[in-house]
Amino acid sequence: MYTNWDELESDCKSCRKCGLCETRTNVVFGVGNPKAKVLFVGEGPGENEDLQGEPFVGRGGQLLDKMLAAVDLDRKKNIYIANIVKCRPPKNRDPLPEEQKACTEWLRNQFALIRPKIVVCLGRIAAAKLIKEDIKITKEHGIFFEKNGTLFMGTLHPAALLRNPNNKPGAFEDFLKLRQKIDELGLES
């Protein structure tokens, strides 16, 4: 396990542990404050993220930033955002189980150094990986699950909200619940 964030980031950015290294432009390690108490985890980079080397920077990312701002959260200040896989799967397909497995070690190290109190899973893939395999994200979003002293909550993926705007109010409720939980726990976010 790593004890130094910069070393972790530098090693991750030169990783070639799975086939996704062949087609990526950039490794998308993550963005935010590594001392944050709240960690957001998505599934993997899309085209814009791959080009810019930062998670959630396309239209979905703009929507995410708006929802974050509404509950006083900001990727530059009080949260950290990472993905299950750090390199873009071709044509935005779901990351394969073996790719997720190969990449999990990076996220595990990020988790160990950040030591978040709350983890928000953005979308089904991240929620299935981190909360429970059979999670029904459309029904079980907004519910906090406690695991070894950390609270995990799944919410709908911003890209899914763009495809299906009817779900936006429900997702926004999740962000309100998150703010309530942050305040309740007295976290500095």
Q: Which stretch binds ligand SF4 (CB under 6 A): 16-24, 35-43, 54-62, 65-73?
A: 16-24
Q: How far is the CB of 13 from ligand SF4 (least distance, A)?
A: 8
C-alpha separations of 91 from 46, 47, 75 in Å: 8, 8, 26
* Helix and strand totals (H; E) in the chain: 8, 6
Q: How far is the CB of 11 from ligand SF4 (least distance, A)?
A: 10
Q: How far is the CB of 77 from ligand SF4 (least distance, A)?
A: 26
Among 4, 7, 10, 16, binds ligand SF4 (CB under 6 A): 16
**Residues contacting residue 11 through CB under 8 Å, at least 6 positions apart:** 2
Count of CB atoms situated within 10 Å of the CB of 90: 11
E strand or H helix that includes residue 108: helix 97-114
φ, ψ (nearest 5 deg) of residue 134: -100, 25
Residue 94-113 contact track with ligand SF4, rule CB under 6 A, x = bound: -----x--xx--x-------
Among 8, 18, 79, 82, binds ligand SF4 (CB under 6 A): 18
Count of CB atoms situated within 10 Å of the CB of 144: 14
Q: Which residues 59-98 are close enough to bind ligand SF4 by CB under 6 A?
A: 85-87
Residues that bind ligand SF4 (CB under 6 A): 12, 15-18, 20-21, 27, 85-87, 99, 102-103, 106
